[in-house]
Amino acid sequence: MKIIANIGTDLIKLGQSREQIRKILSTYTRSSFHRDKDEPLTDEYGTLGMFVYYSKDDLCDGIEFYREAEIYYEGHELFAMSNHELLQLLRHLDENIEIGFSDVTSNKLGIGFWHPEGVTESPEKIPESIMVFKDLPQ
């Protein structure tokens, strides 16, 4: 699957309804759960290695991929890259990336990644998850 910055992927788009996404991904096994009792259902597509998050209006506002996913951005297979390599790629594309202990976020690109042991503390390790979201208003 290919990530398209601030859009989503080549299969599903941020802003699409839960119904549209479920129709597009209908051939894949889906399970649904509440991450928080006050939040809308999250759909997980285990065979694709991804979660789809929805707003209270049932529109997709984020897609999270975990290591089982085969995702690409700008010709790079992201889960084949180390934390350091992915950090360098995002830094090259967005000079204003935000680097926390366990996460890196590019609001410009709508892409972030996470590693529980720390991104810069474990530069050789592969990210645990990669998130796609819409650019946040400034």
Digit-coded pLDDT (tens) for 2-50: 999 999 999 999 999 999 999 999 888 888 877 677 777 899 998 899 9
Residues 116 and 102 reside in one and the same domain: yes
**Within-domain flag for 138:** no
Last residue of a domain, which of 66, 96, 116? 66
For 72-100, what is the mean pLDDT? 96
Residues 8 and 27 reside in one and the same domain: yes
Q: How far is CA 101 from the centre of its chain?
A: 18
Whether the full predicted model's pTM is greater than 0.85, yes or no, is: yes
Last residue of a domain, which of 34, 66, 98? 66
Q: Residue 12 sits in which domain range?
A: 3-66
